[in-house]
Amino acid sequence: MNNNTDSVTLGFIGLGVMGAPMASNLVRKGGHPVHVFDLDDGQVAQLVKLGAQACDSIEAVGKAADIVFLSLPSITQVEEVALALLAAPEKPQMIVDMSTSDVGRSRALAQKLAEQGGIEFVDAPVARLRQAARDGTLLIAVGGSEEQFSRVRPLLENMGSDIVHCGGTGCGQVVKILNNMLVFMSVNALAEAITIGRAAGVDGKLLFDAISLGSGNSFALQHPGLKNLVPDDFPEKVFPTDYAIKDISLALALAEQGGVVAEGARRTHDLLCRTRDAGFAKNYYPAMVKLIDGRVRG
């Protein structure tokens, strides 16, 4: 592989809620040709307007690009796309998975790609909200060798403001998964707090504003707390309950593998499953408050 990232050609597959703004920043700020593919032709067209080059298949991206970035719903789609790239007549030299994916399966995929096609695999999942994806201020947790990290970091800096090397393959996923677990558990606690406070006669906004001045302040309080739990607004196409269940399930799998009984995470997982079953699978996951305060039974 050409180790000089100044001259590489890039690919991006998966132009969803997070992938589209990430790819947009890569196109606008990276100074590299970027070839894009998604099942949504409209999203591809938007990237083409910014200067990307459209591809009509996964294989076409692999043929055109030295490094291919992925932003996909789960490890299942990551495996499908990566194996399609592996089977193609012309292959990329590196795949960078920016999805939130299963750690063990990511490591197994990396080994298979290397052994069967000489394709390097780096995990680089992202944290923070959709606005951070638009602004290029994501936290990106990277798993790979020191040499791989040094090569991809200049490219990732077009999409994130904090790029952290977390260790070998899969370690980026570990950090991202545990970050999300902590956020979900914090939102669970906030939903309980606002419900208790309202029942005791304290306005929800006043409660969270006051707590934000003390030691209870947090990212979760400032964002899903004040912006969603207080106004009781849980739209679709933000970070749905289904996605939260997927991510906290990955955390519980890691806990089991490490012999850890993660009771708090398990309770939040169960509440999220009840929230999904109550009809909020596609809604922003803080909708869990509806079950906590008794408006919905599940």
* pLDDT for the residue 173: 98
The domain total for the chain is 2
* pLDDT for the residue 298: 77
- Asked if 195 and 180 sit in the same domain, the reply is yes
Residue 298 lies in a domain: no
How many whole angstroms separate alpha carbon 122 and alpha carbon 196?
44
**Statement: residue 2 has pLDDT above 50:** no
What is the number of other CB atoms lying within 10 angstroms of the CB of residue 227? Answer: 14
Q: What is the domain-level CATH number for residue 184?
A: 1.10.1040.10
Distance of CA 168 to the CA centre of its chain: 19
Tokens 């519980």 belong to which residue?
252
Print the domain residue range for 124.
5-168
Question: What is the pTM assigned to this prediction?
Answer: 0.93
**Statement: residue 4 has pLDDT above 70:** no
Catalytic residue from among 91, 176, 246, 290: 176
- Asked if 179 and 148 sit in the same domain, the reply is no
What digits encode the pLDDT tens for the residues 235-253?
Answer: 998 899 999 999 999 999 9
Residue 297 lies in a domain: no
* CA within 13 Å, CB half, 98: 32
Joined together, the tokens standing for residue 48 give 């083409």
What digits encode the pLDDT tens for the residues 153-178?
Answer: 999 999 999 999 999 999 999 999 99
What digits encode the pLDDT tens for the residues 33-82?
Answer: 999 999 999 999 999 999 999 999 999 999 999 999 999 999 999 999 99
Select from 177, 176, 180, 182 the least CA-distant residue to 164: 176
DSSP state of 236: B
Residue 104 lies in a domain: yes
227 included as an active-site residue: no
**Statement: residue 292 has pLDDT above 60:** yes
Question: 216 φ, ψ to 5°?
Answer: -85, 0
